[in-house]
Amino acid sequence: TGQDKEMAVFSVPSYACQRRTTLDNQNTTLTDALSLLAENAELSDEDGRGVAFRRAAAVLKALPKPVTDMAQLRGLPCLGEHSLRVIRDILENGMSSEVESTKQSERYKALKVLTGIFGVGAKTADRWIREGIHTLHQLRDSGHTLNRAQQAGVFLHYDDLNRPVSKADADIIGETVGKAVDAVLPGAQVTLIGGFRRGKLTGHDVDFLITHPEEGREEGLMPKVVSWLESRGFLLYQKTTRNSYLECKDGPARPPSNIDRFERCLSIFKLANEETGGTTQLETLTENGTEPAGHRPWRAVRVDLVVSPVSQFAFALLGWTGSKLFERELRRWAGYEKAMSLSSHALYDNKQSRYLRATSEEEIFAHLGLEYIPPSERNA
C-alpha cells in the first residue's frame, strides 16, 4: 500500500549526547518494556546488560514517530539482538513474553518492594531475598537491624517516598531551600537540577545545586543550611557528606568512578500540604501498615542538596541535570571520541594535558565538539 511505501525510515546518531530527546516519547510501549528489562538487570547486578537496554530504549525515545515495522529500525545504533527480539515480540504479538514473565516473577516484585526502601540498594535487597524476605512485613518480622536511613525508609515514610513528587511540590521546597540559603549566606544561589530542570512534571526526588559567585564563600555552607532547615522542622532525615574532591588522590579529573565529591546532603523533607488539605487524596489503608498520608497534614519528600564552588558550577550543573544515560553518554563521548575526561568537577584534555575551563554548559559542549543540547532535550 501507499502507506507502506511512505513508512518512515529513521536515522539517529549513536551517542545520546548527540541527540535531542524531549519528553514527547512516541514509543512508550517499547521503551517501557526495555526500561523494565534494564531495571531488572541493574537490580540483579548485571550493569552491562542494563546499559545495553537503556541505550536501546534511548534510541527509540529519540524517534519522531511510533515504530510500526522492524524494517524501520535498520541501521539504527545501539539495538542489539536481545533488544530487537523484545521489540519484534511487541510489534508482532502486542507484548513481550520476557517482559511479562519478568514483571510477574517473585524476584522482580521483591526487588521492587525492597529497593523502594530509602537506603536499600540492589545488594542488600538481593541478600534479603536469598534469606526469603520478599515483603516489608517479612522484613519487619525478620529481626534485621536496619540503619537510620532504612528505618526512615521502611517504617516511617515508605508510601510517601514511593509516591511521585509534583513540580508544584518541588517549587515549594525550592522556596524553602532558597530562604535557608539566603539566611545563612546572602548572595548564594540555588538552582533546580535533576529531572525537574529537564522539564519533567514529576520526580522521585527534588535536586538542588547551591553556589556563591565568589569562589570559596560556599565553604562550610551545607551544615549551616541544614541546621537552619532542621531547627525549623523542615527535615525528617538528613545525611551530609563533606566535600572530598581536594583529598582525591586519583589524579587529574579522573575520579575512579562517576561518583562525585561535592558537599552533599541526602535528606527527607517534611512538606506541609496546601491549606485546604484538598491535595491529599483519600487513600486506602497502606498495605504495610504505615500511617496513611491522608491522616496528616504533611508528606515526606526526598531532597538532594549539592554545594559547588563557582569555578566548577557549569560542570556540576551539567553533571547533575541528567538524565543518567545522557551523563553516561557524555562521558563516553568525551573519553572515546575526544580523549578527554569529563566529571561533575572538571574537563581534562588528555592530549593537551590540561584542564579546559568553562563557565557555562554551552562552553562544555563546545569543548567536547558537540552541538549544544538544552536540558529539556536531555531526556534520553
Residues taking part in catalysis: 205, 207, 304
| Residue 304 touching Mn ion (CB under 5 A) | yes
| Residue 327 touching ligand ATP (CB under 6 A) | yes
The neighbour count for residue 336, using CB atoms within 10 Å, is: 10
| Residue 21 touching ligand ATP (CB under 6 A) | no
| Residue 74 touching ligand ATP (CB under 6 A) | no
Q: Name the residue nearer to Mn ion (CB basis): 98 or 304.
A: 304
Instruction: Give the per-residue contact string, 251-290, with Mn ion (x = CB under 5 A; - = no).
Output: ----------------------------------------
Instruction: Give the per-residue contact string, 138-177, with Mn ion (x = CB under 5 A; - = no).
Output: ----------------------------------------
| Residue 200 touching ligand ATP (CB under 6 A) | yes
Out of 39, 126, 205, 263, which residue is the one contacting Mn ion (CB under 5 A)?
205
Instruction: Give the per-residue contact string, 297-326, with ligand ATP (x = CB under 6 A; - = no).
Output: ----------------------xx-xxx--
Least distance (Å) from Mn ion to the CB of residue 155? 22
Out of 39, 205, 329, 361, which residue is the one contacting ligand ATP (CB under 6 A)?
205
Q: Looking at 89-97, 105-113, 247-255, 297-305, which segment touches Mn ion (CB under 5 A)?
A: 297-305
Applying CB under 6 A, what is the total number of residues that bind ligand ATP? 17
Nearest Cα residue to 365 out of 342, 354, 350: 342
| Residue 207 touching Mn ion (CB under 5 A) | yes
Least distance (Å) from ligand ATP to the CB of residue 205? 5
> What does the H/E/C string look like for the chain?
CHHHHCCCCCCCCCCHHHCCECCCCCCHHHHHHHHHHHHHHHHCCCHHHHHHHHHHHHHHHCCCCCCCCHHHHCCCCCCCHHHHHHHHHHHHHCCCHHHHHHHHCHHHHHHHHHHCCCCCCHHHHHHHHHCCCCCHHHHHHCCCCCCHHHHHHHHHCHHHHCCCEEHHHHHHHHHHHHHHHHHHCCCCEEEEEHHHHCCCCEECCEEEEEECCCCCCCCCHHHHHHHHHHHCCCEEEEEEECCCCCCCCCCCCCCCCCCCCCEEEEEEEEEECCCCCCCCCCCCCCCCCCCCHHHCCEEEEEEEEEECCHHHHHHHHHHHHCCHHHHHHHHHHHHHHHCEEECCCCEEECCCCEECCCCCHHHHHHHCCCCCCCHHHECC
| Residue 218 touching Mn ion (CB under 5 A) | no
Cell of 161: 517516598
Q: Looking at 15-23, 140-148, 202-210, 284-292, which segment touches ligand ATP (CB under 6 A)?
A: 202-210
Q: Name the residue nearer to ligand ATP (CB basis): 195 or 309.
A: 195
Out of 1, 2, 145, 259, which residue is the one contacting ligand ATP (CB under 6 A)?
259
Out of 153, 174, 203, 375, which residue is the one contacting ligand ATP (CB under 6 A)?
203
Q: Looking at 5-13, 87-95, 195-203, 313-321, which segment touches Mn ion (CB under 5 A)?
A: 195-203
Least distance (Å) from ligand ATP to the CB of residue 348? 17
Nearest Cα residue to 236 out of 299, 187, 193: 299
Q: Name the residue nearer to ligand ATP (CB basis): 87 or 318.
A: 318
Q: Looking at 218-226, 236-244, 253-261, 348-356, which segment touches ligand ATP (CB under 6 A)?
A: 253-261
Cα-flanking dihedrals φ and ψ of residue 355, to 5°? Answer: -80, 145
d(CA 373, CA 317): 13
d(CA 171, CA 70): 43
Q: What are the residues binding ligand ATP (CB under 6 A)?
A: 194-195, 200, 203-205, 207, 258-260, 319-320, 322-324, 327, 344
Q: What are the residues binding Mn ion (CB under 5 A)?
A: 194-195, 203, 205, 207, 304
